Amino acid sequence: MEGWIWGLAGITLIGIAVTWIRLARQRPTKVVISNPALGVLNLAGSAGDELATHDLAVLASLFDDVRRSDGEPPICDVLLLYCDIGPDGKVSGSTRTLREIIRDSRASVVVVARDHPVGSYTAAVPRAAFGRANIVMTLRRKGSTFPRFLARIFSEMKGGVSMPVAWNKLAPQVPGAAHVDVPETVFVCEAGEIAFG
């Protein structure tokens, strides 16, 4: 996968040094999204609805608009996706692939908000010329840790801090660092320096 990849809670991926070297070489432009809209796509039935309700209680106030759907991807800036992804990468309850859902939502930030193993994500997010975003892939939510951590990330972004910088601030990728207050996720930073205005 292209872009910067950051892992949490013992997931060993590309680290800070590589990320910042790439950042310096490419000199990415920070994109600031004014009045960001939060989209919620639930393809997981009542289990997804329960998680979405819990997450929105923490996250909804950080966005100017919340758009919910149980079928078509809502047009939004940040998409919370509640779905089941099989080992083959197929998204249950949809005829679309994960990349197609991302493309059709037009989201710059996509959070797969249910737990999946790394292998499902590897199959679901192959390199593609479309459906690129900053993608947070959840391995283990750790209960209310998940929405609280996202709220901290999005609050930093609302203050003008770009997503990769906020991520590094809240979950620094230092060998041996314990991240007890963060969920287990993989952050694929394809869209780069996204912030909110």
Provide the β-strand partners of residue 189: 4, 134
**CA-closest candidate to residue 78, choices 42, 36, 23:** 36
What is the per-residue pLDDT for 28? 60
What is the per-residue pLDDT for 127? 82
**What is the C-alpha to C-alpha distance for residues 19 and 164, in angstroms, rounded to an integer?**
9
- Averaged over successive runs of 10 residues, the pLDDT of the chain (197 residues) comes to 42 35 55 97 97 98 97 98 97 96 98 97 89 95 97 98 95 78 93 95
pTM for this prediction = 0.85
What is the per-residue pLDDT for 78? 98
**What is the C-alpha to C-alpha distance for residues 196 and 163, in angstroms, rounded to an integer?**
9
